[in-house]
Amino acid sequence: MASETWLIAGLGNPGARYQRTRHNIGQMVLDELLDRMGASYSRTKVGAKAVGARLPGGGPKVIFAVSEGYMNTSGKPVRSLMDYFSVDPQHLVVVHDELDIDFGRIKLKRGGSEGGHNGLKSITQHLGGNRDYLRVRVGIGRPPGQMDTADYVLQKFSSAEENQLPGVIDRAADAVELLVTEDLTTAQNKVH
């Protein structure tokens, strides 16, 4: 029987070069959650930084984690942490950037396709094809004109986006808390 432990994974790439880029918004949301709790990550043996905590007000145990590898290798550390803490895929929440949603909008869902997102593809692969995990999709919008998608997601936010980013990250962190403390439908009704 699986435990009631949750794993919240914030997707991104390691290193200073990728900090505050669109592809790293998942990690930024986890940083906000840890700031709220006064917690900090520790290194693990599985290629991720993680910390176990409880959300403000109690609730189930939550493991917050970010991979120390690149986006396309996110699945291996996520799976290792799920195995170690006996986390059921239905208690996995992945926070990631989403091209198909306008900048600043947040959408919640369970399952579905990966939409070309390499981090999600890696996680699904390491879960044996299981897509039945929750997603906090943080909109970054589509690249302008003919810009290559890979270049766009690895760019820093524009100055106008930077001005709005704290509020976006705050709302996405609230959405993560709702998913853990409420059910998906209730969280969607409040976030969407």
Tens-place pLDDT, residues 8-66: 999 999 999 999 999 999 999 999 999 999 999 999 999 999 999 988 777 789 999 99
Q: Is residue 161 part of a domain?
A: yes
| Number of independent structural domains in the chain | 1
Q: Is residue 125 part of a domain?
A: yes
* Cβ-Cβ contacts under 8 Å for 48 (sequence gap 6 or more): 65, 66, 67, 68, 77, 78, 80, 81
Q: Is residue 128 part of a domain?
A: yes
Q: Is 72 annotated as a binding residue?
A: yes
Q: What band does 6 get if pLDDT is binned at 50, 70 and 90?
A: very high
* Whole-structure pTM value: 0.95
Which neighbouring-strand residues pair with 173? none
Q: Are 27 and 168 in contact (CB under 8 A)?
A: no
Q: Is it the case that residue 2 has pLDDT exceeding 90?
A: no
Q: Is residue 75 part of a domain?
A: yes
Q: Is residue 1 part of a domain?
A: no
Q: Residue 81 sits in which domain range?
A: 6-191
Q: Is 118 annotated as a binding residue?
A: yes
Q: What is the CATH number of the domain that holds 10?
A: 3.40.50.1470
Which entry of 23, 91, 117, 126 is annotated as an active-site residue?
23
Active site residue 23: yes
Q: Is residue 22 part of a domain?
A: yes
Q: Is 70 annotated as a binding residue?
A: yes
